[in-house]
Amino acid sequence: MKTVRVILSPEAEEAYKQLNKEAAESKTEKAILNGIDSKIELIKENIHYGNPIAKKLIPKEYKEKYGITNLFRVKLPHYWRMLYSLTDGETKIEIISFVLDLIDHPTYNKKFGYKKK
């Protein structure tokens, strides 16, 4: 069985650090942070845990910046979203789950071009 390693992009790492700072004083940020940690564990157990996003809907910025060909979405508390991609690791016995973004719902909607009704 292949091992699964989860890596955060610089943007996701920055968001995670910011949530960590605010979690000491905010129940909302603490809930989001706990959600991220628990979802990462679920991804390690099942790499296809998240909802797949159609290839034609993958934001151009992710394709250009990271060269991804697949994208999964995981819902987090307080309408936040975690977006990740899967790739082979440096060895044949490893899969890397690359977390691209940890974003709130308005940012998610903007990134995917969804409009308010």
Starting from the edge strand earliest in sequence, which strands make up the sheet with 94-103, in order? 3-8, 94-103, 81-88, 72-75, 51-52
In degrees and rounded to multiples of 5, residue 97 shows phi and psi of -100, 110
116 assigned to some structural domain: no
By the 10 Å C-beta count (0-12 exposed, 13-18 middle, 19+ buried), 100 is classed as buried
Residue pLDDT, tens place only, 6-26: 999 999 999 999 999 999 999
Q: Are 108 and 81 in contact (CB under 8 A)?
A: yes
Domain coverage including residue 36? 3-111
Could you tell me the pTM of the whole model?
0.89
Question: For residue range 23-70, what is the model confidence (pLDDT) as tens digits?
Answer: 999 999 999 999 999 999 999 999 999 999 999 999 999 999 999 999
CATH of the domain at 29: 3.30.2310.20
Does some domain include residue 85? yes
Whether residue 117 is contained in a domain is answered as no
Query: What is the sign of the dihedral through the CA atoms of 29, 11, 58 and 98?
Result: negative
